[in-house]
Structures are given as structure tokens and as C-alpha cells.
């Protein structure tokens, strides 16, 4: 009996000793394991570093570097792209704009004036004579607008008084409005006098101003039939009016159809490589030909240069008073000024 109780007591003591040793060893290991587990499992993943990328702007072809977030915010607004000024991405457009100082009456167009040869190879200036005229002039304006390009319109004074609303459309579209006399007479004709030539020019200037609602025309002039009366050239030099001849004549006034107008101009350009093109917004075939011609110019690598005057042309009061009655009118003289003092590129 006594031996049995001793054996039972020894067993209990041994069990308590084993339990104490196990508890002392396992508790710190469990804490250590918990700490290791906490360190191994963070609550949120760390965000990746921002990525540097090189991108190219769709509009301006300018390389730039930006930071792209891993996940853009849902509320981020897309940048607003500026609206293009031309709806036609393949338009002929305007290559450069030059400002012309008309002091002393410089002349342009190598058919008559060699001094101010400012156009580079494959550069052209579009010019139109004899308007404004119903149907044809608006069609010319539309063709130019569709190709986002521009021209100079040499206006007959009488036609301006007939259709002032059309001439105002020309001006509103941003084209240059010059003068082409009052009634389109040959200022170098046998019966022409210096006074009649002056009247033809000055009344034409006043008529254009009247049609434009009081806005002065550009100091740009073209002689009818390209007949340059020497005294009229000198007179316009004193008036500081630039005179325009041409390099390529469309001869649209004697073309049988629109295709002939296009072919004549392109053939002329192939020979000369550049130049001031003479057309007539008065002519139906020109109005029909112009959309195709502008596309051909683009395809041929030609670029349009816009010519803008430095100032406007003041009218003479006595001729302002004549508009509405019926007399008659002239251009400039060359001088020794360098090209750089006459022509200046202001936009390209």
C-alpha cells in the first residue's frame, strides 16, 4: 500500500516537471514565430515606382517625358486638345506670310519686274482679277477655304459697286483686296491720257473702299491686260502702291474648259518652278478648275505664300465723291531698295 502511494506521487511530480519544461521552451518560440509572420505579411502591397516614358505629341511632333501612374485616378480628366484652324488635314495651306513695304511702288512678277524675286523654288502666290462676280467669286472663295489657303483679289471698281456684299465676303475670309482700275480699260491705249489713267486708278480705289463699307483697300494694283503705262507707273510710285505682274498666266479667259486652266498653270509652273499665278475669279472655268488646281499644287510640292501689305491705301476725297457717277483711272515705279527692306517673312 505504501509502495503504491509512493509510485503515484513520483508519477505526478514527473508530469509536472515535463509540463514546466515544455511551457518554458515553447512560449518565446511562439512569440518569435508570430513576429516573423507579421513581418512577412504586410497589410497593403507597396505601390510600384512611377515609370518614365518618352512620348510624342500627336499635333506638334515634340518629344516630351512624362510620369505615368500605375493606376490613374478615375476622376482624372483627359487634356483638352486645341482645335485645329483647318478642318482639312491634307490641305494645301499657307507656307509662309510676308509683309510688303510698298514705299516707292515696288513691282512683283518676273514677266515685268526682275528686282524683287523673293519666292523660293516651288513657292507660289495665288492672284485673282476682275471680281467680284456672282457665283464665280463665291465658288473661288469656297475652294480656297476648303484648302485653307489664300490669295490676292485685284478688284474692278465698277464690279465692286455692283456686288459689294461679295467683296466683303472676300475681305471677311482674310484675303487681300487690291485694285484693278475702275472699268478695266487699257491704260496704255492709244487714246489714253495721263489724266484719264489717273481717274481710272483713283476712282477704282475709291469704289473698292465704298464697297468695303469704308475700309481702305490694300496698296496693291495690277494693270488691266498687263499694259504698264510709264506715267501711271511713276504716279503709283508716288502713291506708294505696289504693282503686280505675274510669272504664270492661266489664260483662263480663253480656256475652253476647267481642265485646260489646270494644265496651263501646271505646265507654266513646271517650266518656271515658282511664281505669281494670274487667274480671274470673274471666269466660270477658273471657279470650276480651282479645287483640282489646288490639289495638283499640293501633290506637286508647291507651297502658297501669303503677301500682306504693311499698310492700307488712302483714297482721295475728290474721287470718293465721284463714286456713283462715271469717270476713269493706274500703278508704280521701281527703285533701288534691297529685297530685305521690301519683303519680310512674319510667319512660317
- CATH code of the domain covering residue 338: 3.20.20.370
How many structural domains is the chain composed of?
1
Residue 205 lies in a domain: yes
pLDDT value at position 79? 40
48: its cell numbers: 510600384
pLDDT digits (tens, 9 = 90+) for 94-134: 999 999 999 999 999 999 998 999 999 999 999 999 999 99
Residue 35 lies in a domain: no
pLDDT of residue 222 exceeding 70, the answer is yes
Q: Cα–Cα distance between 132 and 116 in angstroms, integer?
A: 29
207: its cell numbers: 469704289
Q: Bigger pLDDT: 55 or 7? A: 7
Residue 137 lies in a domain: yes
pLDDT digits (tens, 9 = 90+) for 53-73: 333 333 333 332 233 333 333
* Region 215-220 average pLDDT: 98
CA distances (Å), 274 to each of 125, 136, 148, 292, in order? Answer: 9, 26, 20, 18
Residue 151 lies in a domain: yes
Mean pLDDT of the chain: 81
pLDDT value at position 341? 80
Residue 152 lies in a domain: yes
* Whether the Cβ atoms of residue 226 and residue 154 lie closer than 8 Å to each other: no
Q: Cα–Cα distance between 67 and 155 in angstroms, integer?
A: 57
* Whether the Cβ atoms of residue 300 and residue 274 lie closer than 8 Å to each other: no
pLDDT band for position 281 (50/70/90)? Answer: very high
Partners of residue 277 on adjacent β-strands: 126, 248
- With cell 512660317, the residue in question is 348
pLDDT value at position 85? 80
Residue 61 lies in a domain: no
Range of the domain at 310: 96-347
Q: Minimal CA–CA distance to 258: which of 234, 289, 283?
A: 289
Residue 111 lies in a domain: yes
pLDDT of residue 28 exceeding 70, the answer is no
Residue 274 lies in a domain: yes
pLDDT value at position 348? 77
Amino acid at each position: 500500500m505504501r509502495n503504491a502511494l509512493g509510485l503515484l506521487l513520483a508519477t505526478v511530480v514527473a508530469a509536472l516537471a515535463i509540463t514546466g519544461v515544455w511551457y518554458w521552451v515553447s512560449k518565446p518560440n511562439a512569440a518569435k514565430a508570430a513576429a516573423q509572420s507579421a513581418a512577412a505579411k504586410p497589410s497593403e502591397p507597396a505601390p510600384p515606382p512611377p515609370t518614365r516614358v518618352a512620348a510624342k505629341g500627336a499635333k506638334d511632333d515634340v518629344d516630351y517625358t512624362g510620369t505615368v501612374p500605375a493606376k490613374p485616378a478615375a476622376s482624372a480628366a483627359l487634356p483638352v486638345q486645341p482645335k485645329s484652324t483647318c478642318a482639312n488635314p491634307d490641305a494645301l495651306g499657307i507656307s509662309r506670310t510676308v509683309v510688303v513695304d510698298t514705299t516707292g511702288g515696288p513691282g512683283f512678277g518676273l514677266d515685268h519686274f526682275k528686282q524683287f524675286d523673293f519666292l523660293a523654288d516651288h513657292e507660289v502666290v495665288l492672284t485673282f482679277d476682275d471680281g467680284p462676280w456672282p457665283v464665280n467669286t463665291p465658288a473661288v472663295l469656297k475652294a480656297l477655304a476648303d484648302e485653307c489657303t489664300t490669295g490676292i483679289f485685284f478688284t474692278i471698281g465698277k464690279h465692286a459697286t455692283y456686288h459689294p456684299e461679295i467683296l466683303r465676303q472676300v475681305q471677311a475670309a482674310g484675303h487681300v483686296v487690291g485694285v484693278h482700275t475702275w472699268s478695266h480699260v487699257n491704260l496704255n491705249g492709244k487714246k489714253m491720257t495721263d489724266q484719264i489713267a489717273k481717274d481710272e486708278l483713283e476712282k477704282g480705289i475709291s469704289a473698292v473702299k465704298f464697297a468695303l463699307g469704308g475700309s481702305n483697300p490694300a496698296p496693291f494694283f495690277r494693270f488691266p491686260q498687263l499694259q504698264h503705262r510709264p506715267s501711271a507707273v511713276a504716279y503709283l510710285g508716288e502713291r506708294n502702291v505696289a504693282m503686280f505682274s505675274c510669272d504664270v498666266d492661266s489664260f483662263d479667259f480663253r480656256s475652253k474648259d476647267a481642265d485646260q486652266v489646270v494644265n496651263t498653270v501646271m505646265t507654266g509652273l513646271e517650266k518656271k518652278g515658282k511664281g505669281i499665278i494670274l487667274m480671274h475669279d470673274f471666269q466660270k472655268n477658273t471657279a470650276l478648275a480651282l479645287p483640282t488646281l489646288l490639289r495638283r499644287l499640293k501633290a506637286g510640292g508647291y507651297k502658297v505664300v501669303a503677301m500682306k501689305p504693311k499698310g492700307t491705301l488712302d483714297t482721295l476725297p475728290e474721287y470718293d465723291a465721284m463714286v456713283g457717277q462715271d469717270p476713269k483711272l493706274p500703278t508704280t515705279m521701281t527703285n533701288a531698295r534691297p529685297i530685305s527692306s521690301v519683303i519680310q517673312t512674319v510667319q512660317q
